[in-house]
Amino acid sequence: MVDFESDLPEVKEILANRLTNAITEITGRLDMMDRRFESMESNMNRMTEILARIEANQFSGKAERRVAAMEVFRDLPRELVEEEILTHVPAKYLKGLGSTCKLWNSLFTGDGRFGRKHFDKAAKQFVVLMLTKFCRICPAIVDLDGKVPTFEVKPELSLVDPQSKYPGAQFDVYRVVHCDGLLLCTCKDGSRFVVWNPLTGETRWFQPGSGGTVLRGFTLGYGKNKSYKILSYYRGFTLQYSSITASLQGSSYWFGIDATKPVTISCLVKFDFSTEKFVPVAIPYPSQPVCRFEVSRLTNVKDERLSLLVQVEETSKTEIWVTNKIDETNNQVVSWTKVLALDLSPHNDVQVSDDGSFVFVEEKKVVVISETWIDFEAEDENDVPSKEMIYIAGEDNVVTQVDFGPDEANPCVSGIFHYVPSLVQMEQAGGKRKRAEISEH
């Protein structure tokens, strides 16, 4: 009979030694990882400082910029720099890096994979952009930290019209749709449009096919393969789409009016670029079979969730709703939460309609509304005064108004929206295939 008990001390010693060795090895690896992360953090801070100086043009020349940019590669493998450092640096600091040397330039002008990776991993920096009544896109500064909120419009972003006979002439933007840092800008008659990355300055121009441009709209999105596509659609008579489009996770959303029903019903519609199909989306007030809105607007919150601004016919409240859950398997909206309810009825001079736009500042619970104010009491119905307004309101129901002056024959659909600067690329006509292949449907 085998005596197992006599072997136990030896077995225990072997197991104890193995456990000690394993703990020592794990501890060593953890220490190595700590040192690596400390090195990464130090290099990332150094890189951010260098990139900020490049962005601010604080170097005396290209040679000095090249030397500074190459410092971040010292003693670090390129894969580590790309995967663990650059992908976490805000896009605006990387804007001018490609011009410093061929090594950096190849990263930003290659197959586009870095741009997508950076957009997915880097912390998002959100900017408010405004399409003004002068058909120009301008950054806007919304300051909510003072006693009275302020809204300041900065100088326009340059978008040169290549077909103009005047050098440097700007393209007149009639309508704009944004998706992942790209802007799709159309002219008034719909005969031309451009996909534009304002951060990098990259553009791709299109002329739509035949079929007329009346009631025709365009939107930008992508499917599962992350290739950008342009949808050309008509605002039909059965389902009349709103003029404002919101983009989220590659899909486009509109408010629509179902004209086939005996009572006008508002609904939310999504176009899925993966399946290339329109699908209905659940909206608030699910207990009411017929839900009618006096006002309905749509936008997104930091490229993560949808937000609705609605006024229900039976109430005087202006409500802001935000999606609190979206099914990741099919990007379907599951539920909504009401995050703000305003009573604008005491403000007789405040107008909110379907044709405006808004941004919701979630952390402050403040809504910024862009609206065309119309004098409905004008005596001459052929000469009705109007003006461009910005309304800023929060939970206290105090409304700050910013007047941008008369809206004289405004040729564009002015408005405001959140924009995320990014490094995403698109395929240029006649060039090599890049990550963002754009096709028209």
Give the pLDDT confidence of 178-218 residue by residue, as tens digits. Answer: 988 899 998 887 788 999 999 888 899 988 766 555 567 88
Residue 440: pLDDT band by 50, 70, 90 thresholds? very low
Q: Are 137 and 416 in contact (CB under 8 A)?
A: no
| DSSP assigned state of 7 | G
Distance from C-alpha of 424 to C-alpha of 436, rounded to nearest angstrom: 8
Q: pLDDT category, 295, cuts 50, 70, 90? A: low
The 8-class DSSP code of residue 160 comes to B
Q: At what angle do helices 62-70 and 8-55 cross, to 10 degrees?
A: 170
Q: Which of the four pLDDT bands, split at 50, 70 and 90, describes residue 227? A: confident
**141 pLDDT exceeds 80?**
yes
What's the average model confidence in pLDDT over 110-132? 75
Strand 127-131 with 415-419, pairing: antiparallel
Residue 131, Cβ density class (10 Å: 0-12 exposed, 13-18 middle, ≥19 buried)? buried
Query: For 116, phi and psi rounded to 5 degrees?
Result: -65, -45
Residue 330 DSSP class: T
The winner for highest mean pLDDT among 26-30, 93-97, 277-281 is 277-281
Q: With 60 as the cut, is the pLDDT of residue 168 above it?
A: yes
Amino acid identity of residue 247, one-letter, is S
pTM of the model: 0.75
Q: What is the pLDDT of residue 262?
A: 59
Residues β-bridged to residue 141: 152
pLDDT > 60? residue 387:
yes
Q: Is the predicted pLDDT of residue 96 greater than 70, yes or no?
A: no
Whether the predicted pLDDT of 2 surpasses 80? no
**Of how many residues is the chain composed?**
441
In eight-state DSSP terms, residue 13 is H
Give the residue ranges of DSSP H helices in 284-383: none
More confident residue, 140 or 267: 140
CB 45 within 8 A of CB 90: no
Q: End-to-end alpha-carbon separation of the chain, Å?
A: 82
Does the pLDDT value for residue 159 go beyond 90?
A: yes
